[in-house]
């Protein structure tokens, strides 16, 4: 039977509070509002709500399954801003991840600390954020990641080259038909770079059957049972890898508990083991190729000249830079890099990096139809234009703070 590689993404952004141009130069927090002298932290409220619905019950379920089935294993990737908020707002989440890590059945993946798009704009900043993330994972869990996943599985040839230079043994990304050319997504590939980087590709159909279609009563396969799902998996062969990659919040937040999602997952694992499907982690699959470079050369090439992602129908970057609002915001953010870092102001650097989080640009997306519905579901704003206006006000304040850090120019 096929090998099953499960990977879940844990991420929550710091959402911007209502911030207007009338609050400029007042040294105010961009993420926590104060009313009548009292803090109003919507990020804390959201995190705790999702923790109760999703993070805690699903992490507890995974821990129980790992204890019951020693052969069960999976991978987690937790953005740095997620881990920061977990520490501050719901420490039980950190404790559960620590307990899972101690089982030896969980692999923690590397990524950018701020869940940013830095890999597209600044190789130096990209490396800094990856290193910062690795330091936090080591501090909290005593674990050094070996495999990389980029923000939203964003990937291209030039990104693979950067990841290989950072020393990772392989990378996860999306299987995009226009670059696969009819080849299966259930085999290993290598990057179109030298030296090559081994790649695991997401099986979008089977992943999205759970992540997006599970509770859709209009779906022809509804209801999806564990028996039916495992029956689909049984059609694959022992030398194939079924890579099921999805947001952690699939369980309890996007698919609520009353849909039966938690019971489905438990029974899915039970049935998979019963049918001799082997659960694997990315590093166990990729390590033989990392140890023998010549064997990597034998893998088929996945040539991706233009960046891809796991978002939207087209699996491209238009979710974050598909219109003039997004492109203007991104241009402005990364144009600040040199001046922000030169300032040496830790608070300024932290705020600048927090506004790099990809969610801010995702909220500015103006797509319609199915993609637009997904964007609207995730956005805390009434419209993409409100998201852009709020972000722009913060950018103006950041620019003023940068100017205040710069030495005054003296006349000749």
The string of DSSP letters for 307-371 reads: -B-SSTTTTSSHHHHSSHHHHHHHHHHHHTHHHHHHH--HHHHHHHHHTTBTHHHHTT----HHH
C-alpha–C-alpha distance, residues 249 and 58, integer Å: 9
Distance from the Cα of residue 288 to its chain's centroid = 26
Residue with tokens 């033989």, as numbered in its chain: 288
Helix or strand or coil: residue 130? helix
Contact present, 166 and 318 (Cβ < 8 Å): no
Contact present, 360 and 390 (Cβ < 8 Å): no
Catalytic pick among 107, 134, 152, 249? 152
Dihedral angle computed from the Cα positions of residues 337, 173, 98 and 51, in that order, rounded to the nearest 10 degrees: 80
Contact present, 81 and 113 (Cβ < 8 Å): yes
Phi/psi region, residue 317 (left: phi>0; alpha: psi -120 to 50; beta: rest), is alpha
Residues near 94 by beta carbon (within 8 Å), at least 6 away in sequence:
83, 86, 87, 140
Distance from the Cα of residue 218 to its chain's centroid = 28
Our answer to whether residue 152 is catalytic in this structure is yes
What the block records as the tokens of 343 is: 């300032």
Residue with tokens 């059609």, as numbered in its chain: 235
Distance from the Cα of residue 385 to its chain's centroid = 24
Active site residues: 152
């Amino acid at each position: 039977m096929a090998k099953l590689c499960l990977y879940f993404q844990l991420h929550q952004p710091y959402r911007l509070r209502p911030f207007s141009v009338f609050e400029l130069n007042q040294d105010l927090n961009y993420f926590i509002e104060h009313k009548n002298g009292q803090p109003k932290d919507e990020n804390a409220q959201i995190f705790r709500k999702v923790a109760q619905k999703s993070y805690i019950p699903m992490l507890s379920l995974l821990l129980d399954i790992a204890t019951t089935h020693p052969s069960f294993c999976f991978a987690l990737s937790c953005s740095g801003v997620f881990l920061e908020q977990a520490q501050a707002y719901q420490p039980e989440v950190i404790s559960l991840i620590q307990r899972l890590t101690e089982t030896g059945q969980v692999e923690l993946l590397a990524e950018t600390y701020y869940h940013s798009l830095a890999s597209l704009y600044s190789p130096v900043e990209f490396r800094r954020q990856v290193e910062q993330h690795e330091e936090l994972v080591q501090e909290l869990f005593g674990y050094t990641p070996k495999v990389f996943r980029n923000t939203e599985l964003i990937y291209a040839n030039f990104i693979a080259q950067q990841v290989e230079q950072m020393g990772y043994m392989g990378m996860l990304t999306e299987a995009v038909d226009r670059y696969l050319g009819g080849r299966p997504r259930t085999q290993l590939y290598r990057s179109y770079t030298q030296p090559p980087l081994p790649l695991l590709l997401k099986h979008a159909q089977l992943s999205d059957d759970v992540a997006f279609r599970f509770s859709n009563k209009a779906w022809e396969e509804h209801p999806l049972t564990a028996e039916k799902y495992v029956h689909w998996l049984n059609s694959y062969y022992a030398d194939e890898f079924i890579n099921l990659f999805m947001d952690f919040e699939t369980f309890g937040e996007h698919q609520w508990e009353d849909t039966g999602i938690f019971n489905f997952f438990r029974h899915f694992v039970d049935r998979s083991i019963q049918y001799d499907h082997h659960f694997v982690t990315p590093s166990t699959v990729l390590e033989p190729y990392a140890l023998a470079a010549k064997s990597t050369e034998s893998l088929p090439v996945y040539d991706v000249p233009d960046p891809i992602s796991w978002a939207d129908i087209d699996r491209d970057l238009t979710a974050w830079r598909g219109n003039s609002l997004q492109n203007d915001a991104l241009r402005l953010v990364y144009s600040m890099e040199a001046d922000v870092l030169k300032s040496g102001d830790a608070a300024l650097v932290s705020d600048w990096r927090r506004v790099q989080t990809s969610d801010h640009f995702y909220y500015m997306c103006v797509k319609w139809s199915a993609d637009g519905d997904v964007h609207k579901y995730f956005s805390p704003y009434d419209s993409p234009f409100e998201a852009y206006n709020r972000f722009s006000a913060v950018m103006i304040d950041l620019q003023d703070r940068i100017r205040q850090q710069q030495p005054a120019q003296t006349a000749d």
